[in-house]
Amino acid sequence: MSYSLTNIFASLPRTTRGAFTLLSGDPKGKNFLYVNGNSVFIRNIDNPLECDVYTEHSQQVNIARYSPSGFYIASADQSGKVRIWDTVNKEHILKNEFQPLSGSIKDLQWSSDNQRILVGGEGREKFGHVFSADTGTSTGEIMGTSKPINSVDLKPTRPFRCVVASEDNSLCYFEGPPFKWKKTLNEHQRFVNVVRYSPNGEKFASGGADGKLFVYDGKTGDFLYEIKENESAHNGGIYSLCWDPTSQLILTVSGDKTAKLWKVEEKLLVKEFKFGDGIEDQQVGCLWQNNNVLTVSLSGQINYINYKAEKEDLSDRFILKKIKGHSKSITALEVAYQGTDTPIIFSGSHDGVIVYWNSVNGEMDQVKAGSVTQHKNQVQSIRYDAFNEQVLTCGFDDVVKFIDVKEKKYVHEIRMNSQPQGLDVNKIYIVIACINQLVLVKDRKVASQLNLDYESISVSITRNSNFVAVGGRDNKVHIYEIVNDSFVPVVELPERDFVTSVRYSNSDEYLAVADNAKNIKCYKIDGKSYNDITKGLWQHHAGKITNLSWSPDSTHLASSSVDTHTFVYTPAKVNEYIHIKNAHPLNPLTSNAWLNNTHLITSSQDCCIRKWKLNF
């Protein structure tokens, strides 16, 4: 019995309103990378499904960049640590770890000879530092700013120079190495968000919260000119900019929901790309790598831009490709068309977004608003109703929503009287477990309600009959039978602690129960009697068990836990199991689901979905 990781469906970049999001390019032109949570994502720019994840930071990662050689990546987190690690080996062996600042690092850059790293951010004694990538020793003093540094860059050609952009509305220019302050540049009237050198090193450009775009001499630091249209370059703050490989064009992205392409020498606007009218359409990051031009929206969506598009085509058609997904923790998973050649994954996150995925090629999109809108809060549970070709969801906004599987749209909703904790469905009924109430839905209408004297946590219903299991905070599993559209109590199963998850097998032969004491029981069902066949043998987790799911043929049970591990059990052989260690390293697991009898998917707070092949 073994397992292997086959695919990672990656998260989107973490974005923050009012701050830039870095997309960093591979010097070889093959990959690009970004960060979310404590993870660094390395994705193939032509085939983004090819993804690798580095998860060794213990704190939230803010920035990551390739070295000019392409053999190392330096990543920095909010604690002020910089980790330098190998890109060649799959294990990403750590080369060095340094702590150049006492506060969060917002930006970093390598020198072109791979010898030095410049960082900027927050700190007590200083806001920037430049040091040797091999030894960590200082190679200059980054001084002259009175507030945190937002962006840094090093001149890519000799003689080396560096420049930092600060929240004190200024740029500071340094000569070296060892780097020493040379001058302060005060053209901006508000925060300077980004500064970048051209690839040939002859110029550098800065963009600020005032919407201004200024160009400076790369060798002397002298101000050259402002590039603008009317009063400024953008009507909102400029969050990021990038140069084209020839150093003749600059792409800027802004909070005014546009990206603009400029000719530098002519100070001329070439094209303007408008992305939409919503706050989520603000553009906060960009990357120009060979012929690929990418921008990042505030929603986290990555846009591939056709920068050669004719002006009359500058509607939505300038976007060649969109990468969507989750930028917040995934809280629920479900699979439609389970066991077929093309199962569809539905995943929900704590910001209310539900995404559907092609489980084979990784293509994805968000479920769209139809006659009703998406959830306004965390998605708590998702279930597929195969009999009616619909997906059912419930969330912390106290609403149960119906999604048409073919149209991928919300088509109906039912508001609950209290917060739903979970739901399940068979060919006739939908059962929703609210905090102190059990709700029965039939034909998209509430058929009955049962007030509970305990707090429900999880619910499951048999597929071919009408028995309902409800896991409670009273350390019991309550079994009901649906008779004449009403709940009739049948039996109570005592557990060691409050119940975190219950799940009937698809064959209705077993009931799996997980409690807060990290214990999993599997009951074999005979009519209305429940016999525990595990006898305390399934106690392998070291943390709260968050989800249970059965394989389509009901022969295997998968469990996920906040301890980052997944176990796969076989009721027919209770002593045998598969242990997927650190399924999502350093990130608590939130859910799992089966694609077929040999492939399992897991989700976590790292906003990713991982696909596993199991060999029994």
pLDDT digits (tens, 9 = 90+) for 164-180: 999 999 999 999 899 99
Does the pLDDT of residue 315 top 60, yes or no? no
Instruction: Yes or no: say if 274 and 257 are a contact pair by the CB < 8 Å rule.
Output: yes
Residues 597, 351: Cα–Cα separation, whole Å: 31
Same-domain check for residues 134 and 253: yes
Strand-pair category, 39-44 with 51-54? antiparallel
Domain boundary, last residue among 360, 388, 415: 415
Q: Is residue 138 part of a domain?
A: yes
Residue 114 burial (10 A CB sphere; 0-12, 13-18, 19+) = middle
Does the pLDDT of residue 227 top 90, yes or no? yes
Report, as an integer, the average pLDDT of 233-262: 96
Instruction: Yes or no: say if 607 and 359 are a contact pair by the CB < 8 Å rule.
Output: no
Q: Coil, helix or strand for 69? A: coil
Share of the chain above pLDDT 70, in %: 99
Same-domain check for residues 132 and 267: yes
Domain boundary, last residue among 395, 415, 435: 415
Report, as an integer, the average pLDDT of 228-245: 95
Report, as an integer, the average pLDDT of 221-249: 95
- Apex 199 CA angle, 133 and 251, nearest 5: 115
What pLDDT does 311 receive?
A: 61
Total domain count, the chain: 2
Instruction: Yes or no: say if 106 and 150 are a contact pair by the CB < 8 Å rule.
Output: yes
pLDDT digits (tens, 9 = 90+) for 489-517: 999 999 999 999 999 999 999 999 999 99
Instruction: Yes or no: say if 512 and 545 are a contact pair by the CB < 8 Å rule.
Output: no
129 falls in which pLDDT band (50, 70, 90)?
A: very high
Q: For 232, which DSSP code?
A: B
What pLDDT does 281 receive?
A: 94
Same-domain check for residues 255 and 391: no
Same-domain check for residues 120 and 269: yes
Number of alpha helices (DSSP H) and beta strands (DSSP E) in the chain: 0, 55
What pLDDT does 429 receive?
A: 97
Residues 358, 361: Cα–Cα separation, whole Å: 6
What pLDDT does 54 receive?
A: 95
pLDDT digits (tens, 9 = 90+) for 419-456: 999 999 999 999 999 999 999 999 999 999 999 999 99
Domain boundary, last residue among 358, 380, 415: 415
Does the pLDDT of residue 258 top 70, yes or no? yes
Residues 400, 596: Cα–Cα separation, whole Å: 27
Q: Is residue 520 part of a domain?
A: no
pLDDT digits (tens, 9 = 90+) for 522-543: 999 999 999 999 999 999 999 9
pLDDT digits (tens, 9 = 90+) for 294-305: 999 999 999 999
**Of the listed ranges 32-46, 103-117, 309-323, 404-418, the one predicted with least confidence:** 309-323
Q: For 140, which DSSP code?
A: B
Does the pLDDT of residue 208 top 70, yes or no? yes
What pLDDT does 307 receive?
A: 87
Same-domain check for residues 118 and 239: yes
CATH number at residue 342: 2.40.10.480
Q: Is residue 120 part of a domain?
A: yes
What pLDDT does 559 receive?
A: 98
Same-domain check for residues 255 and 373: no
pLDDT digits (tens, 9 = 90+) for 34-85: 999 999 999 999 999 899 999 999 999 999 999 999 999 999 999 999 999 9
Same-domain check for residues 224 and 356: no
pLDDT digits (tens, 9 = 90+) for 131-142: 999 999 999 999
Instruction: Yes or no: say if 335 and 346 are a contact pair by the CB < 8 Å rule.
Output: yes
Same-domain check for residues 81 and 221: yes
Instruction: Yes or no: say if 279 and 285 are a contact pair by the CB < 8 Å rule.
Output: no
Range of the domain at 89: 64-296
pLDDT digits (tens, 9 = 90+) for 84-127: 999 999 899 999 999 999 999 999 999 999 999 999 999 988 99
Same-domain check for residues 343 and 268: no
Q: How many Cβ atoms are within 10 Å of 179's Cβ, its own excluded?
A: 23
Averaged pLDDT score across all residues of the chain:
95
Does the pLDDT of residue 267 top 90, yes or no? yes
What pLDDT does 230 receive?
A: 86
Q: Is residue 600 part of a domain?
A: no
pLDDT digits (tens, 9 = 90+) for 12-41: 999 999 899 999 999 999 999 999 999 999
Does the pLDDT of residue 312 top 60, yes or no? no
What pLDDT does 316 receive?
A: 61
Phi, psi of 225 (to 5 degrees): -170, 170
What pLDDT does 176 receive?
A: 87
Query: What contacts 244, CB < 8 A, 6 or more positions away?
Result: 250, 251, 288
Q: Coil, helix or strand for 571? A: helix
CA-CA-CA-CA dihedral for 47, 49, 54, 57, to nearest 10? 110
CATH number at residue 150: 2.130.10.10
Residues 210, 233: Cα–Cα separation, whole Å: 9
User: pTM of the prediction?
Assistant: 0.93
Distance of CA 133 to the CA centre of its chain: 29
Token reading at 163: 């420049």
**Exposure string (b/e) for 129-167, b if CB count within 10 Å is 16 or more?**
bbbbbeebeebbbbebbeebbbbbbbbbeeebbbbbbbb
